[in-house]
Amino acid sequence: MVDKTQALIIVRDEIINQVITSTEAGEILNVTDSYIRKLVSIGEFEGWEYRKTSKVLLFNKESILNRVNKFNKRKRE
């Protein structure tokens, strides 16, 4: 049986695993961190897909994973 404390830790772990940095996003998409930042500045990402803190960009991991095919297709063209 899982108690409330254990359940809370599991939920927190799941939430933190859904957020990645711009560097990690770049690694997944096979582009540089600076290119990711440029895409944000020109509006390629919607507001719900990322959050900017002082100098760090955090992304919704699922959103980045959904873009992998799109980015691979661009590179081939």
Q: Bridge partners of 70?
A: none
Contacts of 39 (CB under 8 A, 6+ apart): 45
For the segment 18-38, what is each residue's pLDDT rounded down to a tens digit? Answer: 899 999 999 999 999 999 999
Structure confidence at residue 4 (pLDDT) = 56
pLDDT tops 80 at residue 47: yes
Please report how many Cα atoms fall inside a 13 Å half-sphere around the Cα of residue 66, on the Cβ side: 8
Instruction: Identify the residue with better confidence: 75 or 64.
Output: 64
Structure confidence at residue 77 (pLDDT) = 52
